[in-house]
Amino acid sequence: MPAPPRTLGVLGGMGPAATAEFLRLLAGAVPAGSDQEHPRVVMLSDPGIPERTSSVLAGTDEPLPAIRDGLLQLASWGADLLAVPCNTAHVFIDRLDGELPVPLVHIIDATLHAAMRTSPDGGWLAATVGTVRSELYQRRAAEHGYRLLVPDPVRQDGIHRAGVLVKAGRVEEAGALLRASVRVLWRRHDLPVLTACTELPIAYTASGLPEERSVSSLAALASACADRLLAPQPVAVGGARR
């Protein structure tokens, strides 16, 4: 008999708009012709998880217990694959090594793999101050030999504030701010932008900049999750998987 469909557990709320956009992109990444052909998804959207960037900058683990509890809750609800549409949260997720009972699709790896396919010559890192300071992207890019450029402090501040504006529902302002920062970066090096904060793909769309000049961390995560969920599975024979 066929193996039962896999269930994706999504820990969201960081922030709510990015989580909603991730679910939209996930639906579009699945080549389904009916409702029944989509994967099962269970979601815990918890906007009360403490702010990630401020914790990174302060050197504290304040968000860690809520992130751990949320992921374990999703596994207890039947998720056999996990995803978190927040880049900075992965600073804390990486401290859960060995604690999660099911695999997690890592947004940094998914985004860098997408960037290497889209722009082998490299790209600009557009992320929160917390993600940049953590060097999650820089370390993984170096492991792959991938050229990843980091904005100067003035442009970094503008990019970070664009993400904050999306969280506040001020998407058009976020787009204008991100557009101004990215245009300066492109004058220095004409490379695509990795929108490595999950609010930034929303701001980038509002910016009016060419979509093909960005690599969305939300779209990369959605695509990677769809690939994992739809991968061939062992079939059940006599009650056991083979």
pLDDT at 234: 62
Distance, CA of 127 to CA of 31 (rounded, Å):
30
Distance, CA of 56 to CA of 52 (rounded, Å):
6
Length of the chain counted residue by residue: 242
Q: Which residues contact 209 (CB under 8 A, 6 or more apart)?
A: 178, 179, 182
pLDDT at 4: 56
Are 198 and 86 within 8 A, CB to CB? yes
pLDDT at 233: 73
Distance, CA of 146 to CA of 238 (rounded, Å):
47
**What is the pTM for the complete model shown?**
0.94
Are 90 and 128 within 8 A, CB to CB? no
Distance, CA of 14 to CA of 92 (rounded, Å):
13
Q: What letter would DSSP give residue 198? A: T
- Walk along the chain (242 residues) and give the pLDDT tens digit of each residue: 355 578 999 999 999 999 999 999 999 999 999 999 999 999 999 999 999 999 999 999 999 999 999 999 999 999 999 999 999 999 999 999 899 999 999 999 999 999 999 999 999 999 999 999 999 999 999 999 999 999 999 999 999 999 999 999 999 999 999 999 999 999 999 999 999 999 999 999 999 999 999 999 999 999 999 999 998 876 544 544 43
Could you give all domains of the chain from N- to C-terminal order, each with its CATH number?
A: 7-106+221-241 (3.40.50.1860), 108-218 (3.40.50.1860)
pLDDT at 1: 39
Angle at CA of residue 131, ends 130 and 133, nearest 5°: 65
